[in-house]
Amino acid sequence: MSDAPLLVFADDWGRHPSSCQHLIRQLLPRRRVVWVNTIGMRRPSLSWSTLQRGFCKLAQWLAPRRREELPYNLTVVNPRMWPSFASPMSRLLNRNLLTRQLKPWLSSLGEDAVAITTLPIVTDLVEALPARRWIYYCVDDFSQWPGLDQKTIAQMERDLLPQVDDVVAVGETLHDRLAQLGRKATLLTHGVDLSFWREVPERPEWPELASIDRPLLVFFGVIDRRMDVSFLRRLGEGMSKGTILLVGPTLDPDPLLFKTPRLTIWPALPYEQLPHLAQAADVLIMPYVDMPVTRAMQPLKLKEYLATGKPVVVRDLPANRAWADSLDLAGSPERFVSSVLCRLATGLPTQQRAARARLDDESWKSKAADLERIIDGGRVAPEPAKCSQ
């Protein structure tokens, strides 16, 4: 049914700009949305990051965000949850807690409401919450993510897949993995806000940037075990001057990362500042390790990097190969270093700049229109194969 209201289970609204948040923002002008912040899927530990996350959740439960701070048509709820799904008892407890808290919200949306989840941990709610349709929007292979309860997540995803009405995958590797699990998925790759990344207002240079040795190589995103320290260390050793700047939350990366020459780490910046940071960079980099979790990833930052007009050097991974004509792929530390040094010397090649013209067809508005067809029971036409020569 057209303009059906939505019940969305995902990462915390406003915490970071996920693909689901980009899509839902496009739908808000014409659909009511109840967005459910969850506790996430990391194993509880006595680490500082876990304590910070716990305090954040307590603050959400005790002092909900004021309505005027949210976009039109959006309601954000923070249901109380037990911080684990590892045992049958904890799953049952969370099923009962969430059902009791969310049923009134679902009722307020009406009988036409459609539920969308990016998280397998809601599998026990599909039968308990009578949404008209359920959609699993698969954004990552969380069963491979470092720091997560991988075994529990894998089991809950297997439990979820037979129950939902539709499955959406953001990349071909995820699409193929879901097929191996017996579930056909619709491919819907990430979009990009071109004006946000291209039309960057002038601003005074940050004092912190002014003191950094140039040239400047920038990565922004989560800094964890997915960083390939061998790539970064070889790069630092191969530079006679300049700085490698990693910007984002630090979640238990390889300790050797902190011994990398010419490397500086900043905490996460507000999303609105990232285009300014990108414009200050000489080369944007994505030095991910080659492992199952990164082969399944569809990094949001890939198209954002390309939209900036800056040279981009990335690890040779499946999600990046579709844009091989627009950037430099590196399968080894030596190739990574030589590609970065080449782009520092030459800038963005004319051929790569021309190849990025197809970003014009990758807007979040067009991706949200595809998602709406799935929400309303339709199907998205297969995406055309992309040239990677």
Q: What is the pLDDT of residue 45?
A: 53
Across 294-316, average pLDDT: 97
Instruction: State how far the alpha carbon of 219 is from the alpha carbons of 118, 167, 278, 318, 371, in Å.
Output: 25, 31, 9, 19, 29
Mean pLDDT, to the nearest integer, of 253-269? 97
Please name the residue that has the structure tokens 């014409």: 30
Q: What pLDDT was estimated at residue 389?
A: 36
Interhelix angle 19-27/364-375, rounded to 10 degrees, is 80
Among the residue ranges 43-47, 121-125, 247-251, 291-295, the one predicted with the least confidence is 43-47
pLDDT at 205 over 80: no
Domains contained in the chain, CATH given: 6-191+363-375 (3.40.50.2000), 194-359 (3.40.50.2000)
C-alpha angle 125/120/362, rounded to 5°? 120
Q: Are 98 and 77 in contact (CB under 8 A)?
A: no
In what helix (H) or strand (E) does residue 8 lie, and over which residues does it extend? Answer: strand 6-10
For the segment 73-82, the average pLDDT, to the nearest whole number, is: 94
* pTM across the whole model: 0.90
Burial class, 367, CB count within 10 angstroms (exposed 0-12 / middle 13-18 / buried 19+): buried
Give the Cα separation of 241 and 214 in Å (integer).
7
Instruction: State what percent of residues in the chain have pLDDT above 90.
Output: 82
pLDDT over 70 percentage in the chain = 89
List the one residue out of 247, 324, 321, 234 whose CA is nearest residue 278. Answer: 247
